[in-house]
Amino acid sequence: MTRDDALKLLSHIARERAFGRHVGSDRLIQAGLDALIAGVESPSLPMLAGLLRSEEPEAPGLFDQVLEELGLLFHPPADPRAAKWAMAYWVAGQIADGSLDPATGTHLIWADTAYDLGYPEELEPLVHCAHNLDACEESWGVSFEELNREALEAAKQFLSKRSAATAGD
């Protein structure tokens, strides 16, 4: 793992936690250890990386301290609706860049975002893909891989519409 990969992983975990996803202490400690081995420097990083199993309850606080020291601490928008939209864009970005499986990502958007936003039209293609991927059967005549490609394309389209709207501001 390179230094950049380690920083990207720390940033990813920061967003996961900020969006309310559970991240176990063992994963926080491992990310700290990976970052330390990759050459990331932060005063609290060696403490995080060196936590023993009996010290796992200290991991979330130390992880946040490491993020603060590295300038990676992430705070979602205070407005709950804006935070849900930010999460949808973040998940779609992961689908689009290949770092998140399309079935998992579209399911997250469907279950954790679209429902809370009242199923907005902008998320409908991603929710549709989630439904198809969730219920996929051989009798449909469409492969799981094809449905994954459709989900990837839906994520890219969703992101491009945001980019176009941002460019028009």
Q: Which pLDDT value is given to residue 163?
A: 60
Q: Which pLDDT value is given to residue 169?
A: 45
- Are 72 and 14 in contact, with CB atoms under 8 Å apart? yes
> Hey, what amino acid is at 155?
A
> Hey, what amino acid is at 137?
E
pLDDT band at 164 (very low <50, low <70, confident <90, very high): low
Q: How far apart are CA 153 and CA 57, in angstroms?
A: 41
- Are 66 and 51 in contact, with CB atoms under 8 Å apart? no
Contacts of 17 (CB under 8 A, 6+ apart): 23, 60
Per-residue model confidence as pLDDT tens digits over 39-97: 999 999 999 999 999 999 999 999 999 999 999 999 999 999 999 999 999 999 999 99
pLDDT band at 168 (very low <50, low <70, confident <90, very high): very low
Per-residue model confidence as pLDDT tens digits over 110-136: 998 999 999 999 999 999 999 888 887
Contacts of 124 (CB under 8 A, 6+ apart): none
Question: Could you please report the per-residue DSSP string of 29-71?
Answer: HHHHHHHHHTT---TTHHHHHT--GGGGGGHHHHHHHHHHHHT
Q: How far apart are CA 103 and CA 130, in angstroms?
A: 6
Backbone angles phi, psi at 20, to 5 degrees: 85, 10
Q: What is the pTM of this model?
A: 0.79
